[in-house]
Amino acid sequence: MENLAPNPTKIATKWALIYVVVSIVITYTFQYLDIAESPVKYVAYIPFIAFCFLAQKEFKDQLGGFITFGKAFNTGFRYALFSGLLLGIFIYIYLQFLSPEMLTKSMEQQEAQMAEKGLSQEQIDKAIEMGKKLGPMLGAVATAISSLIFGSIVSLVGAAILKREPSVYDIPDEPRADQTV
């Protein structure tokens, strides 16, 4: 029977789906506890980082405990890409349909910040109107792009930590043609 090579896309997709589910739970927990604007929000980065490492580690394990820097980075990058796309879709649905009050709350905070900066009421109204129209889409795109950038950095670190290429001592001895088995 033929030995099938592990598939980094399948592994990255699995961990991205797990991350998005955890992210949804964290989002609603923060909304329920009304701590979305506190420094506690940075806790949400921990699962992203952990699942990226776990995706890279699983691929390394499926390769027999050895992985090149490039293969480890590739797996982490795919995880970041899929996570960003899936989370972007969730953010769009969340801001547009599930919890539009969160967008309104964000717009109110931005309105206060613009007033502090000395913008005219007409400028503030234009910006708020634009934010209400494009807010969910901009949130989704920003989430996807920032996840990809942050995930690339995390993937580089993970690849540097997890890379392990086989040495000559790790390669199993093959019987030579002149030897009998």
Q: Please give the model's pTM, rounded to 2 decimal places.
A: 0.86
SS3 state of residue 153: helix
Per-residue confidence in pLDDT tens, the chain, 181 aa: 456 789 999 999 999 999 999 999 999 998 898 886 778 888 889 999 999 999 999 999 999 999 999 999 999 999 999 999 999 999 999 999 999 998 888 888 888 888 888 888 898 888 888 888 899 999 999 999 999 999 999 999 999 999 998 877 776 656 555 555 5
Assigned domain for 169 exists: no
Assigned domain for 113 exists: no
At residue 145, φ and ψ (nearest 5 deg) are: -70, -45
**Is the CB of residue 84 less than 8 Å from the CB of residue 144?**
yes
Q: Which domain holds residue 17?
A: 8-99+136-162
Residue from 25, 73, 71 nearest 47 by CA: 25
Assigned domain for 49 exists: yes
Assigned domain for 114 exists: no
- The predicted structure's pLDDT at residue 145: 97
Q: Is 99 exposed, middle or buried (0-12, 13-18, 19+ CB in 10 A)?
A: middle
The total number of structural domains in the chain stands at 1
- The predicted structure's pLDDT at residue 1: 47
Assigned domain for 124 exists: no
At residue 157, φ and ψ (nearest 5 deg) are: -65, -45
Assigned domain for 115 exists: no
Assigned domain for 33 exists: yes
- The predicted structure's pLDDT at residue 98: 94
Assigned domain for 149 exists: yes
Residue 50 to residues 17, 91, 109, Cα–Cα distance (Å): 13, 21, 32
Q: How far apart are the C-alpha atoms of 157 and 49, rounded to whole Å?
A: 10
Q: Is 171 exposed, middle or buried (0-12, 13-18, 19+ CB in 10 A)?
A: exposed
